[in-house]
Structure 1
Amino acid sequence: MNLSETIKNIRTTCKNYVDPDLLAFIIDDENHMITNNISEITKYGITDEDTYEEKLLKIHESENIYLPLGMMTFMPVLNECDIFSEKDYNLQLTSEEFSQYADEKERLFGILIKRGSDEYIIGKSDTCSCSVDSCFEKLEKSDCEFYNTIEKIVKEKIID
């Protein structure tokens, strides 16, 4: 994965679900959010002249980075999920899919990129709630429409 180009690609289309200057989240090893205010970070060798992408690349050498790719909202009773990303999707889920993936509140979904590597995990976060205990949670892979749609969105955003 070309991380710099992937970040640029995501930032150009993320206004539908997140402020481009608050796109990335630093996530600790227990999957809790540390911060998403990248512009205020001064360690990791960051300088005032660095672009957003350059700052993230420097941070990524020491920290896990979460990049949201959209937002999902589940509707109980209807077993529906609305996915808001660069494109919007409305999915009718089976009862099993709904049980496996649904949340009561809106969630961001995206990729957690492991520090200093190209390795990523597809998951969701409750970081849009701005709670002190906001965290990232891996989405369990399955062969269903919901997961396949999320995976398709991820693959469209990653630049090799």
Structure 2
Amino acid sequence: MNVKETIKNIRATCNNYVDPDLVATVIHDNYYMGSSNIHELDKFDLKKEDSFEEKILKILKHENIFLNIGMYTFVPIINECDIYSTEDCNLKLSEEEFEKYANEKERVFGILIKKGTDEYIIGSCDLCGCSIDAAFKEIEPSELDFYKKIKEIIDSKIIY
């Protein structure tokens, strides 16, 4: 994956669901969320004149970075999942699939780029990092519709 071009691609199309300056969140090794305001960080040798992408690449040498690609919410009773990203969609889920994923309620989804690499994990984070237990959670790969749709959206944003 080309991290710099992937970040540019996500930021160019994310206005529907997030401010482009808040598309990246620091994720610590224990998967708890750090800062989501990259411009406010005063370490990692970040300079004011650095582009957003350059700042992320500097941070990525020391920390994991989560890139927000959308959000989802589950609708009980009708077993539906609403996904908001570049394009919005509604998924009708089987009861089994709904039970597997619906306990997450509203979350943002995207990729966690592992520090010092271009490797990533598909997952989700809490909507707000202000809670003490706000964290990244991997979305377990499966052949279920929910995972396949999330992966399809993510794959459309990644540049190789």
TM range (shorter): over 0.9
Alignment partners' CA distance in 1, 2:92 and 2:129: 25
* Distance change >3 Å, CA 45–CA 31, structure 1 → 2: same
Pairwise CA distance, 1:104: 5.5
SS in 2 for 1:34: coil
SS in 2 for 1:18: coil
SS in 2 for 1:66: strand
Task: Give 5+ residue unaligned stretches, structure 2.
Answer: none
Q: Is 1:124 aligned with 2:124? A: yes
Pairwise CA distance, 1:105: 3.1
Query: Which residue number corresponds to residue 25 of structure 1?
Result: 25
Q: Deviations over 1:15-62 (max 9, x none)?
A: 111111111000011110011110011211211110111100100011
Query: Which residue number corresponds to residue 41 of structure 2?
Result: 41
Instruction: Percent identity, please.
Output: 56
Alignment partners' CA distance in 1, 2:125 and 2:104: 13
SS in 2 for 1:122: strand
Query: Which residue number corresponds to residue 95 of structure 2?
Result: 95
CA contact under 8 A between 2:129 and 2:135: conserved in structure 1? no
Q: TM-score, normalised by structure 1?
A: 0.96
Query: Which residue number corresponds to residue 145 of structure 2?
Result: 145
Alignment partners' CA distance in 1, 2:130 and 2:38: 16
Alignment partners' CA distance in 1, 2:129 and 2:65: 18
Q: Which amino acid aligns with 2:132?
A: V
Query: How many positions carry a matched residue from both structures?
Result: 160
RMSD: 1.2
Pairwise CA distance, 1:115: 0.2
Deviates more, 1:100-109 or 1:80-89: 100-109
SS in 2 for 1:47: coil
